[in-house]
Structure 1
Amino acid sequence: MKRIIILFAFLLILGACSEKDQATPNDRFQDYVTHWNELKFDEMYDLFSVNAANTYSEEQSVLRTQTIYEDIGVSDLEVSFEELTEEQLDVAMEEGTATIPFSVQLETLAGPVSFEHEATLIQQDDETEDEDSKNWYIEWETGFIFPDLKENGQIRIQTTNPKRGEILDRNQMPLAINDTIYEIGIVPGNLGDNPEQSKQKVADLLGMSTETIDTALNAGWVEDNLFVPLKSVLPEESFLSELLAIEGVQSQEITGRVYPAGEAATHLVGYIRNVTSDDLETLDADQYSANDKIGSRGLEQLYEEQLKGKKGVSILIANENEEDIVLAEIPVEDGKTITTTIDINIQEKIFNTFEEDAGTAAAVDPKTGETLALVSSPSFDPNEVLYGTSGNLWGELEEDERNPVLNRFSATFAPGSVIKPITGSIGLSNGSIVLGEGIEINGLTWSNGEGWGDYEVRRVSTSNGPVDLADALIRSDNIFFARKAVEMGAEAYTTGLKDFGFEEDFPFEYPITASTISSSGKLDDEVLLANASYGQGELEMNVLHLAMTYAPFLNDGKMVKPTLLTSEETGQVWKDELVTSEHANAIKDALRKVVTDGTARNAQDADFPISGKTGTAELKLTNDSSGDENGWFVGYPTDDQDMIIAMMVEQVQDKESGLATKKVTDAFKAIK
């Protein structure tokens, strides 16, 4: 009896151990979930039930899941479930089937997706174990991918392109807008009896080759009755009627980027172009594709991120004979409108004064710092870049000796004598120049001794009696400023220039080269120091900074930070206490006399008073008489004092005297 009891106890223990070692639905589904979270799709298929494997091939199930995941950019996948209780496990073991709810969370290119579903597991023979061994397997179906996806359903990705933001001037006038243009194309079946002749006419009018047209017409999707787009053109093109009279040629209205100011604002506004393969290596692949446009040059490039906006993306479940179901969606974000402080009327009027001459100009409000115009001449029409019919536009631009592709307002140049009011105010501040106190200057040249070698500073006219600051400004006396700079010394003059913003980053939204004192940032050579005092040597300025340096004379000694966007705070002080009221009044009085009695008499042509300073920058290193010269004028309306225009005209040596002064005066007359 005792032996029987011991044997029975042993069998109970053995049975208990066998049940304990047998896999449960929890264990098997945990294996499946682990493979799922680790994206081990091939191992997931090994856990399918016989029925599931017979119903869905590996391609129809786990490989389909893998493909969908890759297409919709799945990341951060997290599949979880709550294990069955002991009581539920007992029922499952007895019935041979179990149902386990599970949750799925994942990120996609259209945002997060989460859902809950149920997995059914069944017991069946385990072919990898003994014949009598059983295990649990998953009854997989398409709901494991997404519950709303049916067997013949598809996952579709739909993108919505944003509208590019527009660029406006201070008065809401357009600088870059999205407007109606015409897309010209051919319907091949309508080309008529002589298609080659028709294609040649189209090619001639659109500035294309017939080979390019043939390539478009021979694309795989083309059919005789389909419209094949060739080129976009502006609605005002004069050749449109002739073009549309050709058999087979049609037009469609589309939206395109248009630049109403044309060449007057190209360097400031820029334009858009097609995205290149090089661009795609660095751009966000979610936001840019080979068919997109991107800002090139100017504000279009500078504010590309804001103007571009963000594409909208939707992931849709498309089941047969049913409406699409939105699985995930990121709404489209249209680009933002950029509103500038630029006044397009002022911009165009200043640009037009250049005519065929090369140069640059800036117009600013001296009290607020608002930039009213930034001009570079010559220029080119951005509309021609996008829609023009020249077969070699860029070649023509690059061969133009006037260099129309160069943005001159972002560069620096020797300012010549327009720097003299700044030199004067520096001298007044450090005491090396005293109002009304003159110095004797004899002859047209001056040298400070043997250390200068053969070099001499030259002035344009002799003086009668002592020369003070007012007389030196009116007659633009180089020797006066050279002597005063040498007298105050390099350290004092350099400090004064730095007080006016030299040798530091220019605080402006648009990238503009900073003004510099010299290539080294120092004036450790006396000749270099003397030349810098009247805007020669190695001293260089950008035109906007130059305009701003005159603001302290009109704004209680303050040089405000220049602004470009209406969203910026105006009137922010960049540099303060640059000149006293007494000194500012003295310099303003002299700048008025420069026009009435001095070198800027051309400015008297206006029917209102103008004040300002002329300058000529000689682009040579010696006293040689040869070399190009750039003409400068910085001026403002004497009474209103609401705008400063700084202008440089290149290569004025063989042109009429005071050309820059005349152009600034013409601009003020047109503006006022």
Structure 2
Amino acid sequence: MRRVARFMFVVLLVVAALAGCSKEPTPQDRFSEYIALWNKQKFDKMYDYLSKDAKQHITKEEFTSRYTKIYKDLQITDLKINFKKPKEDKQADKEQAQYSFTAKMSSIAGTIQFTQQAKLQKEEKDDKKNWYVDWHTGFIFPKMKEGDKISLSTVAPTRGEILDRNGNELAVNGQVYEVGVVAGKVDEAIIAQVAPLLKMTPEQIQKALSASWVKPELFVPLKKVSMDDQERIAQLIALGPVQTRKVGARIYPYKEASAQLIGYVGLITADELEKRKAKGYTSRDVIGKRGLEQVLDEQLKGTSGVKIIIKKKAGGEEVLAEKLVENGQNVKLTIDAELQLAAFNEMNGEVGTAAAMNPMTGETLALVSSPSFDPNQAVIGFSADEWKALQDDVKKPLTTRFKQLYAPGSVMKAITASVGLEKGTINPVEAVPILGPKWQKDQSWGGYFVTRVHVGSPINLEKALVFSDNIYFAQAALKLGKEGFADGLKKFGFEEELKYTYPLETSQIGKMDSEISLADSGYGQGQIQMNIVHLLASYTPFMNNGNMIKPTLLADEQQGQVWKEAAVSSEHAALIAADLRKIVGDAGGTAHAAEMADYPLSGKTGTAEIKKKQGETGSENGWFIAYNTNSPSLLVAMMVENVQGRGGSQVPVKMVKNIFMNWK
């Protein structure tokens, strides 16, 4: 009896197993699989779940490409199709089933969400019955019917403007002339006359006229021309088939004077769009290409208004989603545009950089790179010859020099003095015996010598600064040692990224991996390098009781922030400040040419030699940094390249003096 019972139990298990294996899929399980593929956007595999009737209306290629294109064009992300299985479902025994599902997704025009009904049909395929989705276009969007099309309507935001501290316009939305010709009314003779006036080739004009969209009597745009260029516009209009119209454009009133600082805008490229798609950029956007236009692009650009429209086959349209336009924000800088212009004009095409700051607040008042280019021409479009001339120019007018690193030369000596005083390795009153115009520590330096211009002995700190004695500061660096000197420099912000609106290269100490390199670093040679904004900041302790003030560029930033508290003690800061005054005021001071009886300046000169090895002739960069002694609200620094044979640092000394004379 037990054997029979055992046998029957095994039979029942086998029957149950076989029944389980042959059980038909339920419609809700089948639809769940379809939903899972949809959430993964596996459109090609979704097609296999479609009913026979659905497949008669759309091919697999059409189905896959339609979904793919719509999702790509509308920038669909965060797709969530939800289907909740019913607890009790008696539809499995029927030939048809119906379920409700919800869809939610992010698009270029905001969130799209809807609820839709899905029908499933039981069909036999390959001798097996299964459930298939009775798909129709409403699965894409409920309001969409067969033959309807989806389109995008965009409203471009107004780009925010860039203003200086006084409200002067540095980058504004203005107008230019768009010059073109009427198709069908130009011949080769007209083209030959138009081409040079627009700085185009006849071939470029012919290419524009042969575009696929061009038809007779249509206006074909060729080039944009500045509103200021009235003479050229008059010559073009006189040519009959040539027409002009005013169009919006970005305008830069201060032209070359602020080109590297402000930058310019242009149409977004495919590569730029790929990087910014997630931030709502489109192929029609104008974006910043250089300078603050690029750095602050997201703030200035605003957000395009976008409307997703279903255009009905029978006429009319339905709005599927809409995002309202948000105009860009204006940006106000700490820059004084007139001081910026004055400094740029003073440099008069010299290769170099200049910067100005309020040393009490840290507000950047000017950031100049010279020579420069006209950003208005960049917006309108450089001709091939114009662009090549800029790129081939040996003075490199496209370079942004105020963000780059340079050997500071002797303007470094005030910092070295501060470090030595703080570390106790410099006694300001100690008279150091230094004989002759050159010096080396010992014979291990071989043929290498540190040289100086002013010969005298003994030398204390005041004389070393006033006469800019290289040997004194080379010895001071050796006394500090590599670690002591590097530690002191880091308290002045070296090797530390400056959190500044305009990206600047980080000032470097270098390896100082030999005694010679360490000695040279003491007077601003070796591998020491600084950007000019950091140089300005590093002199602020001498006006702020030893505190180093953080530079700022945006008007809404907190002003007067301390970047490095007690970079040098107030006592030592006052001592160096007194010596900086003597560098200008004393008759033998290296910056005495900047002395003005009614407007006393304090400052430091510097000449950085750029050469591969001692003994060879190299180029020289001249530096001067200065501030008004009695009312230190303006600190100006300037570096001019290739001053050898022209007076060295005296070149920027005269220019900086002129800036103060015209600004006091």
Q: CA deviation at 1:627?
A: 2.2
Q: Tell me how far apart the structure 1 counterparts of residues 526 and 61 of structure 2 sit (CA, whole Å).
A: 78
1:35–1:189: structure 2 CA closer, same or farther, 3 Å change rule?
same
Aligned residue among 240, 243, 252 for 1:259 = 252
- Is the 1:45–1:58 contact (alpha carbons within 8 Å) kept by the matching residues of 2? no
Find the counterpart in structure 2 of residue 604 from structure 1: 595
Q: Tell me how far apart the structure 1 counterparts of residues 199 and 652 of structure 2 sit (CA, whole Å).
A: 38
The structure whose Rg is larger is: 1
Tell whether 2:652 aligns with 1:647.
Answer: no
Find the counterpart in structure 1 of residue 206 from structure 2: 214
Find the counterpart in structure 1 of residue 103 from structure 2: 105
- Secondary structure at the counterpart of residue 517 of structure 1: coil
Residue type at the aligned position of 1:78: I
Give the RMSD, CA atoms, in angstroms.
Answer: 3.6
Aligned residue among 293, 318, 322 for 1:325 = 318
Q: Tell me how far apart the structure 1 counterparts of residues 132 and 453 of structure 2 sit (CA, whole Å).
A: 101
The equivalences for 1:628-639 within 5 A come to: 628-639=619-630
Could you state the TM-score of these two structures normalised by the residue count of structure 2?
Answer: 0.85
Alpha-carbon displacement from aligned partner over 1:118-176 (angstroms, at most 9, x marks no partner): 567899xx77799xx99999887665554433455332222333333333322332222
Q: Tell me how far apart the structure 2 counterparts of residues 630 and 389 of structure 1 sit (CA, whole Å).
A: 31
Tell whether 2:553 aligns with 1:555.
Answer: no
- Secondary structure at the counterpart of residue 403 of structure 2: coil
1:389–1:119: structure 2 CA closer, same or farther, 3 Å change rule?
closer
Q: CA deviation at 1:669?
A: 2.1
Find the counterpart in structure 1 of residue 402 from structure 2: 409
- Is the 1:266–1:381 contact (alpha carbons within 8 Å) kept by the matching residues of 2? yes
Q: Tell me how far apart the structure 1 counterparts of residues 441 and 501 of structure 2 sit (CA, whole Å).
A: 43
- Is the 1:61–1:142 contact (alpha carbons within 8 Å) kept by the matching residues of 2? no
Find the counterpart in structure 1 of residue 432 from structure 2: 439
Residue type at the aligned position of 1:224: P
- Is the 1:44–1:62 contact (alpha carbons within 8 Å) kept by the matching residues of 2? no
Find the counterpart in structure 1 of residue 6 from structure 2: none
Find the counterpart in structure 2 of residue 524 from structure 1: 514
Q: CA deviation at 1:97?
A: 8.8
Find the counterpart in structure 1 of residue 559 from structure 2: 570
Q: CA deviation at 1:33?
A: 6.8
Find the counterpart in structure 2 of residue 467 from structure 1: 459
Alpha-carbon displacement from aligned partner over 1:88-112 (angstroms, at most 9, x marks no partner): 979x97xx998x5624313252433
Q: Tell me how far apart the structure 1 counterparts of residues 596 and 282 of structure 2 sit (CA, whole Å).
A: 56
- Is the 2:50–2:132 contact (alpha carbons within 8 Å) kept by the matching residues of 1? no
Tell whether 2:571 aligns with 1:582.
Answer: yes
- Secondary structure at the counterpart of residue 329 of structure 1: strand
- Secondary structure at the counterpart of residue 551 of structure 2: coil
Tell whether 2:179 aligns with 1:184.
Answer: yes
Query: Alignment length, in residue pairs?
Result: 632
- Is the 2:498–2:504 contact (alpha carbons within 8 Å) kept by the matching residues of 1? yes
- Structure 2: give runs of 5+ residues left out of the alignment: 1-22, 38-42
Residue type at the aligned position of 2:413: K
Find the counterpart in structure 1 of residue 18 from structure 2: none
Q: Tell me how far apart the structure 2 counterparts of residues 120 and 534 of structure 1 sit (CA, whole Å).
A: 83
- Structure 1: give runs of 5+ residues left out of the alignment: 1-22
Alpha-carbon displacement from aligned partner over 1:266-310 (angstroms, at most 9, x marks no partner): 222222234334445544278445554332222222233333333
1:309–1:477: structure 2 CA closer, same or farther, 3 Å change rule?
same
1:668–1:140: structure 2 CA closer, same or farther, 3 Å change rule?
same
Aligned residue among 606, 611, 617 for 2:608 = 617
Q: Tell me how far apart the structure 2 counterparts of residues 498 and 548 of structure 1 sit (CA, whole Å).
A: 13
Q: Tell me how far apart the structure 1 counterparts of residues 55 and 508 of structure 2 sit (CA, whole Å).
A: 77
- Is the 1:273–1:386 contact (alpha carbons within 8 Å) kept by the matching residues of 2? yes
Aligned residue among 469, 473, 484 for 1:481 = 473
Q: CA deviation at 1:211?
A: 0.9
Aligned residue among 131, 139, 156 for 1:161 = 156
The equivalences for 1:345-364 within 5 A come to: 345-364=338-357
Q: Tell me how far apart the structure 1 counterparts of residues 372 and 138 of structure 2 sit (CA, whole Å).
A: 62
1:143–1:376: structure 2 CA closer, same or farther, 3 Å change rule?
closer
- Is the 2:28–2:85 contact (alpha carbons within 8 Å) kept by the matching residues of 1? no
Q: Tell me how far apart the structure 1 counterparts of residues 213 and 621 of structure 2 sit (CA, whole Å).
A: 58
Q: CA deviation at 1:634?
A: 0.7
Find the counterpart in structure 2 of residue 78 from structure 1: 81
Which region of structure 1 is more displaced relative to structure 2, 339-348 or 164-173?
A: 164-173
Q: Tell me how far apart the structure 1 counterparts of residues 120 and 444 of structure 2 sit (CA, whole Å).
A: 100
1:129–1:206: structure 2 CA closer, same or farther, 3 Å change rule?
closer
- Secondary structure at the counterpart of residue 342 of structure 1: coil
Residue type at the aligned position of 1:178: N
1:406–1:294: structure 2 CA closer, same or farther, 3 Å change rule?
same
Find the counterpart in structure 2 of residue 12 from structure 1: none
1:642–1:187: structure 2 CA closer, same or farther, 3 Å change rule?
same
Q: Tell me how far apart the structure 2 counterparts of residues 297 and 417 of structure 1 sit (CA, whole Å).
A: 32
1:581–1:42: structure 2 CA closer, same or farther, 3 Å change rule?
closer
1:524–1:138: structure 2 CA closer, same or farther, 3 Å change rule?
closer
Residue type at the aligned position of 1:46: S
Which region of structure 1 is more displaced relative to structure 2, 661-670 or 454-463?
A: 454-463
Residue type at the aligned position of 2:180: G
Find the counterpart in structure 1 of residue 8 from structure 2: none
Q: Tell me how far apart the structure 1 counterparts of residues 528 and 69 of structure 2 sit (CA, whole Å).
A: 63
- Is the 2:35–2:83 contact (alpha carbons within 8 Å) kept by the matching residues of 1? no
- Secondary structure at the counterpart of residue 255 of structure 1: strand
Q: CA deviation at 1:29?
A: 7.3
Q: Tell me how far apart the structure 2 counterparts of residues 456 and 138 of structure 1 sit (CA, whole Å).
A: 88
Find the counterpart in structure 2 of residue 35 from structure 1: 34
1:81–1:488: structure 2 CA closer, same or farther, 3 Å change rule?
closer
Find the counterpart in structure 2 of residue 387 from structure 1: 380
- Secondary structure at the counterpart of residue 576 of structure 2: helix
- Secondary structure at the counterpart of residue 197 of structure 1: helix
- Secondary structure at the counterpart of residue 239 of structure 1: helix
Find the counterpart in structure 1 of residue 5 from structure 2: none
Alpha-carbon displacement from aligned partner over 1:558-606 (angstroms, at most 9, x marks no partner): 0122222223322222212133333222222222221122111221257
Q: Tell me how far apart the structure 1 counterparts of residues 391 and 493 of structure 2 sit (CA, whole Å).
A: 34
Q: Tell me how far apart the structure 1 counterparts of residues 363 and 198 of structure 2 sit (CA, whole Å).
A: 41
- Is the 1:272–1:296 contact (alpha carbons within 8 Å) kept by the matching residues of 2? yes
Q: Tell me how far apart the structure 1 counterparts of residues 129 and 464 of structure 2 sit (CA, whole Å).
A: 108
- Is the 2:354–2:638 contact (alpha carbons within 8 Å) kept by the matching residues of 1? yes
Q: Tell me how far apart the structure 2 counterparts of residues 635 and 302 of structure 1 sit (CA, whole Å).
A: 30
- Is the 1:485–1:530 contact (alpha carbons within 8 Å) kept by the matching residues of 2? yes
Find the counterpart in structure 2 of residue 666 from structure 1: 658
- Is the 2:179–2:225 contact (alpha carbons within 8 Å) kept by the matching residues of 1? yes
Which region of structure 1 is more displaced relative to structure 2, 114-123 or 70-79?
A: 114-123
Find the counterpart in structure 2 of residue 18 from structure 1: none
1:624–1:222: structure 2 CA closer, same or farther, 3 Å change rule?
same
Q: Tell me how far apart the structure 1 counterparts of residues 565 and 379 of structure 2 sit (CA, whole Å).
A: 45
Q: CA deviation at 1:258?
A: 1.9
Q: Tell me how far apart the structure 1 counterparts of residues 300 and 357 of structure 2 sit (CA, whole Å).
A: 25
Aligned residue among 222, 226, 230 for 1:230 = 222
1:102–1:537: structure 2 CA closer, same or farther, 3 Å change rule?
closer
Find the counterpart in structure 2 of residue 10 from structure 1: none
